[in-house]
Structure formats: C-alpha cells, structure tokens
Amino acid sequence: MTTILNQHQDYQQAEEAYGFPLIIKQLLNRAKIASKDQTISYADKVTYTYAEFFKRVNRLANVLKNMGLQAGDVVAVMDWDSHRYLEAYFAVPMSGMILQTVNVRLAEDKVLYTINHSKPKALLLNAEFEPMAKNYRHEAPSIEKIIWLDDTQYDEDTEYGEDTIKTQQASMPDYAEGEYEAMLDTVSDEFDFPDFDENTIATTFYTSGTTGDPKGVFFTHRQIVLQTLSSTLASALSAEGQGARYNDVYMPMTPLFHVHAWCWPYGATMIGLKQVYPGRYVSEVLVDLIEQHKVTLSHGVPTILQMLIKEMATRGRKFNGLKLSVGGSKLNEALAEAALESGIEFISGFGMSESCPVLARVAFGDQTSTMTTTEQINYRCLSGSPIMLVSMEIWDENGKALPMDGESTGELVVRAPWLTQSYFKNPDAGDELWRGGWMHTQDIACITADGTLKITDRLKDVIKSGGEWVSSLEVENILSFHPCVAEVAVIGVADEKWGERPLALVVLKPEYVDIKAEDILALGHQAVEKGYLPKYGVPSEIRFLVEMPKTSVGKLDKKKMRIMYEEKLI
C-alpha cells in the first residue's frame, strides 16, 4: 500500500515508507493502546473489555475465512443492536468483505427484496428473524452460510423488561452453520488483517425510500473513516455540556442497521469510549440502561426522543443532561421543549442514507446563554451548518446556484468525501442522483447568510398553491403547538382553483377527542397575522386520524397519505 507522490524525483517516498490507507482497521489504532480496559456491554447480558473485543473481532474474521468466504463477498446481518453487531461492523469490512446491514423493520417482502438484490453469501441471523429467513430460502437464495445468533443463552441473567424482550425463539435450524458464540470459541483469537485499497467497498444497505423498491447505497472504507472523523469532530466542538468528550458513555438509539447508526459506533470505538448496546429498542430497557450505565452520548429520530421522554415521565425523574443528536426527520418545537424539560440536551442535524449520513449539524457555541428558552429551542431545531469538508449549494430547477440569503429556496445539492457514488445495480438512478456533479438531496431548503440550513420540504412532498410554495414542515411545526395535537402531517392535495392546497392530518392526544378543526387552524391564522406564514399556507381542512402512517424507520409516510386521500380512506 503506497502513496504516490505525484511530484518530481526529489519528493519520492522512502522504500519502506508506510502510505497509510484510510481503512476501517485504522479506526482501532488509538483504542488498541488507550482503551484496552474500557468496557463494552450488550444490555444486561454481556460486558467485556476492548481487549476482549479486539480478540473477538479476530475470531469472527477467522470464522468467516474458515467458511470459505473471500474479499468482495457480501455478509448480511439481521440483528438488533448487540456486541455481535459491533464486532461485525469491524471484522467483516476489515476482511475485505462487504457488510450488509439489513433493515429488519421493513415489511418482510421488502427485506427479502433487499437480500435478493444484494446477494449476500453469508448471513448473521438473530433467531427472532428466522421466519423471514425461512421464507427467503424458498426463493433463489444466494446465501450459502448462516450463522445463528441466539440470545436465549443470556435469558437467565436478564433483568430488564423480560416480558417484552423474550420472544418466541426458534431453535437453531439444520441449515445454520453453527451458533455465533460456539463458532467463535473454536477458532484462534489472532488474525492479521491485511492492508488494501481504501476505495474498497465496506458496507451496503438499502434506503427505505417511500417510492418504489428500496435502493442500495454503498460506502468505501475511506468514506466511512472520513465521515467518522468529521461528524465526531462536529459534535465534539460543541459548547460545554453539548459535545462528545473522552469520558462519555455511548449507547446507540438509531439502530445499527440504519445508515451505520450515523457512524457513531465507529466513532465511539475510534475514541475508545465506554459503550452500551441496547438490543431491541424497548422504552423501559433504553431508560434502564441509560440510568444504570450513566449513558451521556446518544442519537435518535424524534420518535425515539418521544419514547424516552414519556418513559422517564412515568418514573417521575429526569435525564441528567443526556447529549442526544437528533435527525432523520424534522424535530417539532413542542417535542423539543419537552426534551429540554426532561433533561435531554438535544442538537439537530441533517443527513440521509446516501450521505453516510451526517452533512450538517447545529454548531452549538455559547449563543444559548443570551437566548430566551423559545429562541434556544428554535435554534436547536434548525438543521445546523455544514460539518467540516461539506460543500452545499441551493439550486433552482435549471441547476443554477441561488444566493444564501435565507429566502432563496431550491433543491439542496452537496459534495462531501462520503457520498454514495451511485445506487447498487441501478446506474440510471445513480446518474440522476449525481446530475451536474453534485449529489441531489431531493430536499427543498434555503441557507441563511450566517450559514444555517433550513429544510422546508422533501422535493416530492412540495405543495404548490396558486403557484407559490408552501413549506409543509413549517405548517406542521405551527400546528404542533396546539395542546391537543399529538402528531400532525401536512400534504398537498389537488385543488381545481389553486392547483394544490395543503391538507392537515392530525392525530389527537388520547385525552382530547372533541376538539374542532377550527381551533387548531386558528394557530395557522395567528401565524399569518404575525407574518410567520403566508395566507395560502393555512390548510383548507383538517382530517383526524387514529394513527399516523409512517415508514419503517418512523418517518411520516406522505406517499401513503396521498394514496389514502386519493382512495378516500382518510
């Protein structure tokens, strides 16, 4: 592995100089020296040291090698967040293989689609998902080897949420190669991970996009290393009490199958932090673990934040300044207020499956010291500014860059060292993604003069009323302040006169049932009066739902809402 110095003779590198490829194994260098005795836990089931973790990564690599797997082979994982998953995060790509993180929350047919599409040769299968794998085996499977992941061995020791965690588990089927722990036990704890080209593919997974089949994205070793460095830095630079620190205790609350859990497992291991993996996300278990392990650093979508606040409220206690990065969808200000009250220091960011994921983050300085609570909440809910190395532009429909004045609104396009370079076996969609040499986020946004990114809509969710754009996110935010509203979504529906009009879908809090639409819409009219919203932004109508249609990762599924509206189901 050599670096080519592209200048003349005088700058040639020494014969034995080490060129240092940016590959995932290098993320372990610091922890190997500095954190040998630090611990990693799997819920209440397993706790071991980094020294043991390194050995188990070596063992897993030996298991994969002994099964005949080779560099370039895809190894899929279907598991909740466990120490095993973390081991696979390293051992699989460090062996030159490609880690596929299967989204087990998708509908079964979509899960099967992603597996059929990526063609893994091996699968690490949590017993809980055995029914899916069984069905899969009836199709034309690429999978030759299945490693069985079984939590029943820990059941005796389980302290938390036994009823919810214990599931009906199949016993290991004949077609499995063996049980994970048993297989690790039989091989050497030494493995010499080779150097290779940093542009080797390390991971692949599927976007849970609401349109059409899931699309596969893929990332190289170099991309993951650079995203990890830059997004960790973007957090750490935050003001006192807000950023990542050497003495944090980390626990993911974005699943490891979801865009590398925002690369935090790579970052936490790189720094050598104490880590906790919570298994399946059950509110009581998450809060138990946060309290028991004194977790200080995590991340999650707004839905998780809501779960945490609710669970802690039932305990009559508060979080102790838990630092939580929030992304995935827009945080509304009512939830944000509740988070601060519950003792959670949240910060919003912006990213997507195609971008590894982090692109922007609130750069939390000391501004809050002079802010009112409302101002502070508003500030923390923004999408922040680009993190280190990220370029952003706002383009109009003709690909012309618009000024960053907080008013000019268009599609956000980006450049960064960690963007998927296409879609897997879908070059047309890849070419569309990279139209004009910038990656198209399909998000409609503006950027203020001081560099703050404001996402106003998804391109496909845009509402155009009387020729003017309505920001559905802005309208949702305003209506969310009504004390009776649990959840709100605004979609565009066809209108003869205006082309489209915003329609608000609302789920009420259980204790309110008799509220009238006008009462909620009154908030919209007030916003118009105060100049926060154009008149045409107030929805013409509200329809009440019992449950809000959502995607597998908890985002509002507006595509489904539009279909339901057209089919007169709402």
Least gap, CB of 290 to a copy of itself (angstroms): 18
Burial of 378 (0-12, 13-18, 19+ CB in 10 A): middle
330: which strand partners?
Answer: none
With binding defined as CB under 8 A, does residue 271 bind a copy of itself? yes
Is there a contact between 97 and 64 (Cβ–Cβ < 8 Å)? yes
Phi first, then psi: what are they for 500, rounded to 5°? Answer: -140, 155
Phi first, then psi: what are they for 120, rounded to 5°? Answer: -65, 150
With binding defined as CB under 8 A, does residue 515 bind a copy of itself? no
Site for a copy of itself in 53-82 (CB under 8 A): 72
Residue of 15, 109, 174, 192 that binds a copy of itself (CB under 8 A): 15
Residue of 92, 229, 324, 533 that binds a copy of itself (CB under 8 A): 229
With binding defined as CB under 8 A, does residue 307 bind a copy of itself? no
Segment near a copy of itself (CB under 8 A), from 33-41, 324-332, 343-351, 503-511? 33-41
Site for a copy of itself in 349-378 (CB under 8 A): 363-367
Task: For residue 540, give the amino acid letter.
Answer: S
Q: Which H helix or E strand runs over 77?
A: strand 74-78
Is there a contact between 291 and 253 (Cβ–Cβ < 8 Å)? no
Site for a copy of itself in 406-445 (CB under 8 A): 415-417, 419, 421-422, 424-425, 427, 430-431, 433-439
Residue of 164, 167, 186, 391 that binds a copy of itself (CB under 8 A): 391
Least gap, CB of 192 to a copy of itself (angstroms): 14
Site for a copy of itself in 76-135 (CB under 8 A): 98
Q: Which H helix or E strand runs over 64?
A: helix 50-66
Least gap, CB of 231 to a copy of itself (angstroms): 10
Nearer to a copy of itself, 23 or 506 (CB): 23
Nearer to a copy of itself, 48 or 481 (CB): 48
Phi first, then psi: what are they for 320, rounded to 5°? Answer: -100, 60
Nearer to a copy of itself, 42 or 418 (CB): 418
Least gap, CB of 447 to a copy of itself (angstroms): 7
454: which strand partners?
Answer: 446
Q: Which residue shows structure tokens 């596969």? A: 216
With binding defined as CB under 8 A, does residue 339 bind a copy of itself? no
With binding defined as CB under 8 A, does residue 306 bind a copy of itself? no
Least gap, CB of 375 to a copy of itself (angstroms): 17
Residue 104, SS3?
Answer: coil
- What number of chain residues touch a copy of itself (CB under 8 A)? 92
To the nearest 10°, the Cα dihedral for 530, 335, 322, 302? Answer: -120
Residue 357: cis peptide before it, omega within 30 degrees of 0 = yes
Nearer to a copy of itself, 243 or 255 (CB): 243
Q: Distance between CA atoms of 261 and 273, rounded to whole angstroms? A: 16
Site for a copy of itself in 539-568 (CB under 8 A): none
With binding defined as CB under 8 A, does residue 199 bind a copy of itself? yes
With binding defined as CB under 8 A, does residue 467 bind a copy of itself? no
List strand residue ranges (DSSP E) for 459-484, in order.
Answer: 463-465, 468-470
Q: Which H helix or E strand runs over 453?
A: strand 453-458
490: which strand partners?
Answer: 504
With binding defined as CB under 8 A, does residue 294 bind a copy of itself? no
Site for a copy of itself in 243-262 (CB under 8 A): 243-247
Segment near a copy of itself (CB under 8 A), from 15-23, 106-114, 321-329, 524-532? 15-23
With binding defined as CB under 8 A, does residue 346 bind a copy of itself? no
- Comparing CA positions, the residue from 72, 332, 50, 322 lying closest to residue 197 is 72
- Comparing CA positions, the residue from 238, 219, 454, 447 lying closest to residue 325 is 238
Residue of 313, 449, 459, 569 that binds a copy of itself (CB under 8 A): 449
* Distant-in-sequence, close-in-space partners of 433: CB < 8 Å, separation ≥ 6: 354, 420, 422, 423, 439, 440
Burial of 26 (0-12, 13-18, 19+ CB in 10 A): middle
Residue of 132, 387, 489, 508 that binds a copy of itself (CB under 8 A): 387
With binding defined as CB under 8 A, does residue 398 bind a copy of itself? no
- Phi/psi-derived region of residue 437, left when phi > 0, alpha when psi is between -120 and 50, beta in every other case: left
With binding defined as CB under 8 A, does residue 188 bind a copy of itself? no
Least gap, CB of 437 to a copy of itself (angstroms): 5
Nearer to a copy of itself, 421 or 526 (CB): 421
Nearer to a copy of itself, 293 or 501 (CB): 293
What number of other Cβ atoms are within 10 A of residue 14's Cβ? 6
Segment near a copy of itself (CB under 8 A), from 161-169, 223-231, 472-480, 561-569? 223-231
